[in-house]
Chains A and B, each alone.
Chain A
């Protein structure tokens, strides 16, 4: 068995060494193929890195700013249906008391309202949150107020819409639990910057107790956000538990489409690169007929020669990957540090994208790219080479394979 393995190994090594010699012997044609393949490999690694970086930013950002480790929704609350909001509030069940006490759950009360700025009215959501909460990244500690002023924190997008700065006063109007309108002035205590638009656009964050008092909804909430510390993962008294798979499903859908786009670009680039290899292989089979015949006359089987030519084609990809790793590593390292600075319009879309998009290189994605490149190059090299095993070697020696 060991002897057989040794023979097999030496056979493969012979084919490999000969293939490598042949591709180095091909000179510029080889380096052109290698350059195209290495460019494809590095570009794809960078592009996939950007997608992974964006996914990581978006998921981390969403968890940190909005969803926590999951949410418990009031029985009538549906974040996709604004008409549920007027009734989507209620007393927090007693079952949550220990978790509220140890701050592993924090309540949020959501109320429809309007804000007035320079005589214009805009519909918004008022969100009440405890100033002591530490589950979400909302700077709720700025909501602590010891006087009659109602402090509010808003995101940069909202601030831009309202032309508001820190310390500005704005007028808000809302309806209390009995449907009566009320108006108060709020003071912008802080403006935060978040890549998650859904905690920013059209929203004003107020102290929970103040909002409960303003609406007459004492001890009520619309939903609860939990941290990892809270171990409940089931519905409680009609408050339905929503895990992050549910809460982030829109993001997952978006990411899936991002992956599809990435794959399409990868496929186009790889097709172009492999076309060069295919072309070279076709040319090799026709130009090197005498050489093929010589290999056979020296004692190789046509199948061995086919394997050698296939290995040659595959070696272009191997060399492309090695070359790509050599020049690509410093480039990708630099790119990891600098990323891509996105125009403001991108960050305003609210896809969880930061001003600077930093790539993250996932070893799994890189390995998958390598395996795909290698497998396809084996196939693309084998297609023209298989002609050899069916050829008449006498014709090959005369250079007459057609």
Chain B
């Protein structure tokens, strides 16, 4: 396990006192199916504080990913209000929502979603390019992020040359490089073996502890649950249990 570098984000510096960074009030999400609707989320009320390491757990179809997508401003609720970093997700324009994702939210996907034609370095650098950071800043941030996940030697490799575990570590570095307030991880260990799962979870836990980044998982993997400090169980689109460990 690589040692996590001790650095402080200017943004995390502002949030020394635990703040509520996600408020979900009476969230309902429905999808059109035939002539009717399928209700994926039903009256979800939830607050998440800065620095939490928590998971949305439940069986397939329980609404975990849907809820994660709303928090990540990739989707909007049908009813209710989702406030993320002080912004109402439903009220954001496409540009504002992109800016929110670019500056404040990191994503980690089950299938890594690395950009195939870019090298590891370029994949990690991409969010910073969108932020129009200087070349010097980018280089330092990317190398730091690769060091956290122990992949500095793979900087020039392409995603096709990496193992599953390495790919997911690149995805973590890409999500963390901009030092977001929130990281959303959708089944991050689903394609990994036990060893790799533990490695990436330890990395994320360490980043959470050192950088106070909020991690929100959508998972039904027992291995992931072992690391979570708070588990919210979803059942048929409703919260059936909210347990802090």
Contact = CB atoms under 8 A, between A and B. Distances in A.
Chain A complexes with chain B: yes
Contacts of A25: 116-117
Interface string B60-99: 0000000001001011000000000000000000110111
Contacts of B174: 298
A394 B75 contact: yes
A355 interface: no
A293 B94 contact: no
Interface string A16-40: 0000011011100000000000000
B132 A10 contact: yes
A297 B126 CA distance: 11
Given A301-B98, A302-B94, A304-B98, A296 B117 contact: no
A387 to B, nearest CB: 15
A299 B103 contact: yes
A272 interface: no
A274 B117 CA distance: 24
Interface in B93-110: 94-95, 97-99, 101-103, 107, 109
Interface residues of A, number: 27
A264 interface: no
A53 B129 CA distance: 50
Contact of B74 (A24, A297, A300): A297
A7 B126 CA distance: 16
B45 to A, nearest CB: 22
B64 to A, nearest CB: 13
B98 A299 contact: yes
A296 B113 contact: no
Nearest to B70: A394
Interface string A284-326: 0000001101111111111110000000000000000000000
B127 interface: yes
A329 B95 CA distance: 45
A291 B116 contact: yes
Contact of B130 (A26, A293, A299, A392): A299
A300 B132 CA distance: 12
Contacts of A11: 132
B113 A290 contact: yes
A246 B111 CA distance: 73
B154 interface: no
Contacts of A186: none
Interface of A: 7, 10-11, 14, 21-22, 24-26, 290-291, 293-304, 392-394, 397
B99 A290 contact: no
A388 to B, nearest CB: 12
B94 A397 contact: no
B118 interface: yes
Contacts of A21: 117-118, 122
Interface residues of B, number: 29
A315 to B, nearest CB: 13
A80 B111 CA distance: 80
B94 A298 contact: no
Contact of A14 (B97, B98, B99, B129): B129
A293 B99 contact: no
B102 A298 contact: yes
B1 interface: no
A191 B102 CA distance: 82
B46 interface: no
A397 B74 contact: yes
A303 B95 CA distance: 9
A296 B98 contact: yes
Given A21-B118, A393-B74, A397-B74, A299 B113 contact: no
Closest 4 CB pairs of A and B: A299-B102, A25-B117, A294-B113, A301-B98
A22 B113 CA distance: 15
A299 B116 CA distance: 18
Contacts of A394: 69, 74-75
A343 to B, nearest CB: 52
A298 B127 contact: yes
A14 B129 CA distance: 7
B115 interface: yes
Most chain B CB within 10 A, of A10, A293, A299, A394, is at A299
A42 to B, nearest CB: 28
12 contacts: A21-B122, A290-B113, A294-B115, A295-B115, A298-B101, A299-B127, A299-B131, A300-B130, A393-B74, A394-B69, A394-B74, A397-B113
Contacts of A297: 72, 74, 101, 107, 109, 113
Contacts of A290: 111, 113
Interface in B14-46: none
Contact of B94 (A7, A26, A301): A301
Contacts of B117: 21-22, 24-26
Given A294-B109, A296-B74, A392-B75, 16 more contacts: A11-B132, A14-B129, A22-B117, A25-B117, A291-B113, A291-B116, A294-B107, A296-B101, A297-B101, A298-B101, A393-B74, A393-B75, A394-B69, A394-B75, A397-B109, A397-B113
A301 B126 CA distance: 14
Nearest to B158: A25
Contacts of A14: 129-130
